[in-house]
């Protein structure tokens, strides 16, 4: 599967493990319970902007896998053949034809892969996924998305999402397919992110499905537009109220009712999101954390770093150096 995107084919165990780790998460990998003469595996990777498909298969033995680092992205595990027993904390999910598993950021898992297991990982970068949710909600996302770990593929919405992934795989397998024509800014990424948010329960499900009976007031929309367009500016409540054409107290009440956070918190989260986007693509040595912090309106770098770590689970210097 995904033959045109193969990065290693028929590799022995150590090379197979190293290749998978380079596209997913570092881990220990060993045959389960017995020694075997030879285990080989193949890996294929197709990138579509913030979403990647990582396909792996192995043959020769059952395998035990233990992640040695926390996952820093969203990983949907789908079985193409065989099964995988995934344990995260006290929860265990068996991935097979009826069930997928979702590993969310900051989770660490162990796995037992059946012999001749064929698996597909749908990897979605955290910063892009949470930004996508923010756009759907029209408000900042203040904590990581936490999905229910087991995804029942017999559920109609989940089944449709999984079928869409299979359609994408089939399309990528054709050299002249639609997806292959636009891998840098593929509409598939947005479609699958939205579909996953709608088909699988998570800690923002209630907010996502809630619909206001009336549109947002015009003054509030003007304040939000100013924040989105110029988050680096000095955006006090008084200035936002002036732009909105209403009093400061009325603006704060509208933020609470329609956005769910204070104006100050909304400005902070937009600034953090912009800073994160810059740090992800920045080149170490040409950009510093302070450069990015000042660019987006943070005058105190240690406080910026603390807020960034609370939001993204790591210091901004880690994000910068990873880039």
Q: Number of H helices and number of E strands within the chain?
A: 12, 12
pLDDT at 214: 57
Short-list 237, 226, 252, 232, CA closest to 304: 232
First to last CA, the chain: 30
Evaluate whether 235 touches 241 at the Cβ level (below 8 Å).
Answer: no
Short-list 115, 111, 116, 73, CA closest to 95: 111
Residues of the chain with pLDDT under 50: 183, 211-213
According to DSSP, the β-strands at 118-125 and 73-81 are antiparallel
- Cα separation, 87 vs 111, whole angstroms: 6
303: which residues sit within 8 A by CB, 6+ positions away?
none
Tokens 């930004």 appear where?
131
Short-list 46, 54, 53, 63, CA closest to 20: 54
Short-list 300, 238, 239, CA closest to 271: 300
pLDDT at 143: 76
Q: How many CA atoms lie within 13 A of 23 on its CB side?
A: 25
pTM of the model: 0.75
């Amino acid at each position: 599967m995904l033959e045109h995107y193969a990065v290693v084919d028929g590799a022995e165990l150590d090379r197979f493990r190293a290749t998978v780790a380079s596209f997913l998460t570092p881990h220990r990998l060993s045959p389960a319970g017995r020694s075997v003469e030879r285990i080989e595996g193949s890996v294929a990777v197709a990138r579509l902007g913030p979403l990647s498909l990582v396909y792996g298969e192995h043959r020769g033995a059952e395998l035990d896998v233990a992640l040695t680092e926390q996952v820093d992205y969203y990983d949907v595990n789908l079985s193409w053949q065989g099964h995988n027993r995934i344990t995260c904390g006290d929860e265990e999910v068996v991935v097979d034809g009826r069930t997928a598993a979702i590993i969310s950021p900051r989770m660490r898992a162990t796995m037992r892969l059946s012999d001749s297991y064929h698996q597909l990982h749908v990897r979605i970068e955290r910063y892009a996924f949470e930004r996508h949710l923010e756009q759907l909600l029209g408000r900042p996302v203040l904590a990581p998305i936490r999905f229910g770990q087991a995804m029942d593929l017999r559920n109609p919405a989940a089944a449709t999402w999984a079928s869409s992934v299979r359609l994408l795989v089939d399309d990528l397998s054709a050299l002249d397919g639609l997806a292959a024509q636009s891998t840098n800014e593929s509409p598939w990424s947005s479609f699958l992110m939205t579909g996953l948010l709608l088909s699988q329960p998570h800690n923002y499900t209630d907010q996502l499905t809630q619909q206001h009976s009336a549109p947002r007031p015009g003054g509030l929309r003007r304040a939000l537009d100013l924040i989105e367009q110029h988050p680096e500016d000095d955006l006090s409540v008084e200035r936002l109220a002036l732009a909105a054409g209403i009093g400061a107290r009325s603006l704060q009440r509208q933020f609470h009712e329609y956005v769910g956070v204070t104006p100050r918190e909304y400005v902070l989260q937009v600034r953090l999101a912009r800073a994160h986007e810059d740090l992800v693509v920045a080149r170490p040595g040409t950009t510093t954390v302070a450069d990015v912090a000042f660019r987006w309106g943070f005058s105190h770098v240690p406080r910026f770093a603390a807020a960034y770590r609370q939001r993204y689970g790591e210091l901004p210097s880690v994000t910068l150096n990873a880039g």
